[in-house]
Amino acid sequence: MQQELRKLPSVEKVLQNREIQNLFEDKGRNLVVESVRRVLEETRQDITNGHPCPPLAVLLERVLLDASTRWRPTLRKVINATGVILHTNLGRAPLSDETRAALELAAKGYSNLEYELHLGQRGSRYAHAEELLCHLTGAGGGLLVNNNAGAVLLVLAALARGKEVVISRGQLIEIGGGFRIPEVMAQSGVRLVEVGTTNRTHIEDYEEAIGDETELLMHVHHSNFRVLGFAEQAALSELVDLAQQHALLVVDDLGSGALLDTASFGLAHEPMVQESIAQGADLVCFSGDKLLGGPQAGIIVGRADLVASLRRHPLTRALRVDKTTIAGIQATLLHYLRQEATEKVPIWQMISLGLEETRERAESWASNLKEFGVGAEVVPGLSTVGGGSLPGETLPTQLVALQVPSPDELAHRLRTGEPAVVGRIEGGRFILDPRTVLPSEELELQAALEQALQG
Ligand SMILES: *Cc1c(COP(=O)(O)O)cnc(C)c1O
């Protein structure tokens, strides 16, 4: 072992190598020196554990790899072949060309974010998307915050802090990522009054719970689960009627917040923002990156006076949206205004992708794979919308099923490749769903598959 350790070159010796020196310009000398130290230290450990000292060429190779991968960004591109359109772990909604251009414009230079150009004086960042939100939803006012969890927290804290908020036991949901309605309510400083049962809550249950301390009736969309069988929840319109009799507010947390009718795409009808406003909810909140198909944001629409008081609340400052978010939400909303969302917003393109198109794409992938000598078959399957919307609802699709000795190993290779590819394993086969793969990603996907299958 001592003999092997003596063969290990010094840091200086490695740094004298021309190839290593060539890295200096690109990576910076300090980082290269760090890489050399790290590789030599790891190799020293290996030798101590009984391995022989590798030749210099191998050590140099390791340094090159370390220096080029050590500080590469951890947030990497992923091709989503899972068939789950709004995959929260994979970043929810991909953005349209126009939305990305708007983000770029806002990011690149200065903007009139909080500046009234015609007056030459201070303006409000919240003015930008408001008119558009009102026009599209029929609301009197609109406000953007960081995400919908923040929107719910803000609405409750601003409107009902120290007061009672009545909510059905069937709507005390957890949507994942640590968001639980009862906990958010507690954080906002309201007192939670639960009514009804898990499966059934009637309007009379709300009525009986209303007292002097009651301020607000809360309605929450189930998001990611479905109650079947003997189940009933009071309708939003019933809550609105009851609230009017008692001078209370009604807040609807819609979660996914569709502006288009999912029923026209062969899915169940997902409650729409316009409907909640039309039914008389005082405030409605939803996410920017679920069925709206934009960047992460929390969107609050509703009564103008209430929105104005939210805007003045200190929490709004803490939940403030970035300029790029404002630009991106506005650009995304414009697709709805121009009635081109199904053609331009990626998640709606995916939802509306016909079975025939999924078949064509699956067949072309499968024939490429067959040419490559891999057993690939096109089989019928199901895609889902995901993102806390339409639980249990599916879209028929055509999948590519790969017959490989170890689907787990292939899945691992694809996940760790560049770009990473995530699919799913079903019945011992590795499955790719064309629905969630952007057309512009097809060549990359093919290259990634070939690389992983070769490896
Ligand atoms: C998704 C969801 C939220 C949280 O929204 P984020 O934008 O992820 O913070 C809150 N409420 C409901 C009903 C949801 O579906």
Domains of the chain: 2-69 (no CATH), 78-88+348-454 (3.90.1150.180), 95-344 (3.40.640.10)
Please indicate whether residue 220, judged by its CB atom, sits closer than 6 Å to ligand 1. yes
Residue 455: the pLDDT is 67
Model pLDDT for residues 381-427, shown as the tens digit of each residue: 999 999 877 888 999 999 999 999 999 999 999 999 999 999 999 99
Give the tokens for residue 69.
């991968």
Give the tokens for residue 299.
């969107």
Residue 193: the pLDDT is 97
Distance 255 CA to ligand 1 centre (A): 5
Residue 248: the pLDDT is 98
Q: What is the CA radius of gyration of the chain?
A: 27
Distance 451 CA to ligand 1 centre (A): 38
Please indicate whether residue 298, judged by its CB atom, sits closer than 6 Å to ligand 1. yes
Q: Which atom of ligand 1 is nearest to the CA of 152?
A: 10
Q: Which atom of ligand 1 is nearest to the CA of 254?
A: 13
Residue 222: the pLDDT is 86
- Whole-model pTM: value is 0.93
pLDDT (tens digit, 0 to 9) for every residue of the chain, 455 residues total? Answer: 788 999 999 999 999 999 999 999 988 999 999 999 999 999 999 999 999 999 999 999 999 999 988 888 999 999 999 999 999 999 999 999 999 999 999 999 999 999 999 999 999 999 999 999 999 999 999 999 999 999 999 999 999 999 999 999 999 999 877 889 999 999 999 999 999 999 999 999 999 999 999 999 999 998 888 888 999 999 999 999 999 999 999 999 999 999 999 999 999 999 999 999 999 999 999 999 999 999 999 999 999 999 999 999 999 999 999 999 999 999 999 999 999 999 999 999 999 999 999 999 999 999 999 988 899 999 999 999 998 778 889 999 999 999 999 999 999 999 999 999 999 999 999 999 999 999 999 999 999 999 999 86
Burial 422-445 (b: 16+ CB within 10 A, else e): bbbeeeebbbbbbbbbeeebbebb
DSSP string, 280-341: T-SEEEEESSSTT-SSS-EEEEE-HHHHHHHHHSHHHHHTPPPHHHHHHHHHHHHHHHTT-H
98 in helix, strand or coil? helix
Please indicate whether residue 294, judged by its CB atom, sits closer than 6 Å to ligand 1. no
Model pLDDT for residues 87-106, shown as the tens digit of each residue: 999 999 999 999 999 999 99
CB 249 within 8 A of CB 309: no
Residue labelled with tokens 């030798």: 47
CB 87 within 8 A of CB 79: no
Ligand 1 test: best mutation among 253, 289, 321, most atoms within 8 Å of CB? 253
Residue nearest to atom 5 of ligand 1 (CA): 148
Distance 351 CA to ligand 1 centre (A): 20
CB 123 within 8 A of CB 114: yes
CB 208 within 8 A of CB 240: no
- CA separation for the pair 24, 443 (Å, rounded): 34
Distance 199 CA to ligand 1 centre (A): 21
